[in-house]
């Protein structure tokens, strides 16, 4: 059996693709055969974040339309074993992603023995986003500590609870996880930013993790390496923790408390 994990947020630019790449990589690092699918038809970017953009020959829509088979379209990740990327198509025809087509591809991945299928949702609540969440077993809601992101997350939760297959068929609901990204402990401490507990209180779903605002994310995307592989950076550690919690382990939250810089740090500078 494979588990379908949808990474979604409603709002754009909050870190869905960064998170999809990192969570998928994290699951593969744990030895699970994992596929990560880009649902953002027309605006594909997962390939760039994963660093496989030059190896894209066939895409998701090609497979749905029968122009290629799944094995031809799946790109084996060069950083991590057990990990495969299914890129989105750059076609402008958004309706190319049919429900039956998506279902068939997911079934085929399941058939090929994939244990986790991570669906990277596009922003918004249009067709692509709906297709990405329709078949979800679990969902990671990526939220920034900022009003518009929190509101949109709540909206997408409502859609998940009404439009997913699990909801429509009255099965056990999609398991929801909150991931707060781009968090600044200092600003939260100073009352300039919603705290992660504020966000959790507002959205009322279990917290999967908090990843700090970090320069490492841009470095990672510049190079086409998932952020979780930026060794020894807080953001990579936070993603590793999130993956561990996703798999049922208990890990204390890190990088969420603000530590006042000591005297020496203040005198001699430093970040």
Residues lying near other proteins in the complex (CB under 8 A)? 146-147, 150-151, 154-155, 158, 188, 190-195, 198, 202
Minimum CB–partner distance for residue 173 and other proteins (Å): 14
Residue 187 beta carbon to other proteins: minimum distance, rounded to whole angstroms: 8
* Whole-angstrom distance, CA of residue 228 vs CA of residue 202: 28
CB of 239 to other proteins, least distance (A): 25
Contacts of 270 (CB under 8 A, 6+ apart): 261
Crossing angle between the packed helical segments 147-163 and 196-203, to the nearest 10 degrees: 30
Which are the contacts of 175, defined by CB distance < 8 A and separation ≥ 6?
137, 138, 139
Which stretches within 164-261 are classed as H helix? Answer: 165-168, 185-189, 196-203, 215-223, 234-246
Cβ of residue 258: shortest distance to other proteins, in angstroms?
Answer: 12
Q: Which is nearer to other proteins, 43 or 147 (CB)?
A: 147
Nearer to other proteins, 117 or 188 (CB): 188
Kindly tell me which of 115 and 152 has the beta carbon lying closer to other proteins.
152
We find the least distance from the C-beta atom of residue 165 to other proteins, in angstroms, to be 19
DSSP 173: P
- For other proteins, give the closer residue by CB, 66 or 191: 191
For other proteins, the closer of residues 113 and 191 by Cβ is 191
* C-beta of residue 16 within 8 angstroms of C-beta of residue 30: no
User: How far is residue 236's CA from residue 256's CA, in Å, rounded to a whole number?
Assistant: 14
**Which of 146, 142, 158, 258 minimizes the C-alpha distance to 198?**
146
Closer residue to other proteins in complex, CB, 33/182: 182
Measured from the CB of residue 210, what is the shortest distance to other proteins in angstroms?
15
């Amino acid at each position: 059996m494979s588990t379908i994990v949808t990474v979604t947020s409603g709002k754009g630019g909050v870190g869905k693709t960064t998170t999809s790449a990192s969570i998928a990589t994290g699951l593969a690092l744990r030895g699970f055969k994992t596929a990560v699918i880009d649902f953002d038809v027309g605006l594909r970017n997962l390939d760039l974040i994963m660093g496989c953009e030059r190896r894209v020959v066939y895409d998701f829509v090609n497979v749905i339309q029968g122009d290629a088979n799944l094995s031809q379209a799946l790109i084996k990740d060069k950083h991590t074993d057990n990990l495969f990327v299914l890129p989105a198509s750059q076609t402008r025809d958004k309706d190319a992603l049919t429900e039956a087509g998506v279902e068939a591809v997911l079934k085929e991945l399941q058939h090929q023995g994939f244990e986790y299928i991570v669906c990277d949702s596009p922003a918004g609540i249009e067709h692509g986003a709906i297709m990405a969440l329709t078949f979800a077993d679990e969902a990671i809601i990526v939220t920034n500590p900022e009003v518009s992101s929190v509101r949109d997350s709540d909206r997408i939760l409502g859609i998940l609870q009404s439009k997913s297959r699990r909801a429509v068929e009255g099965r056990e609901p999609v398991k929801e996880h909150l991931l707060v990204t781009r968090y600044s402990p200092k600003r939260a401490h100073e009352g300039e930013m919603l705290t992660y507990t504020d966000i959790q209180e507002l959205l009322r779903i279990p917290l999967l993790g908090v990843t700090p605002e970090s320069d490492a994310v841009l470095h990672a995307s510049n190079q086409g390496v998932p952020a979780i592989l930026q060794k020894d950076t807080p953001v990579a550690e936070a993603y590793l923790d999130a993956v561990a919690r996703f798999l049922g382990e208990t890990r204390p939250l890190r990088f969420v408390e603000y530590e006042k810089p000591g005297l020496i740090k203040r005198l001699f500078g430093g970040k």
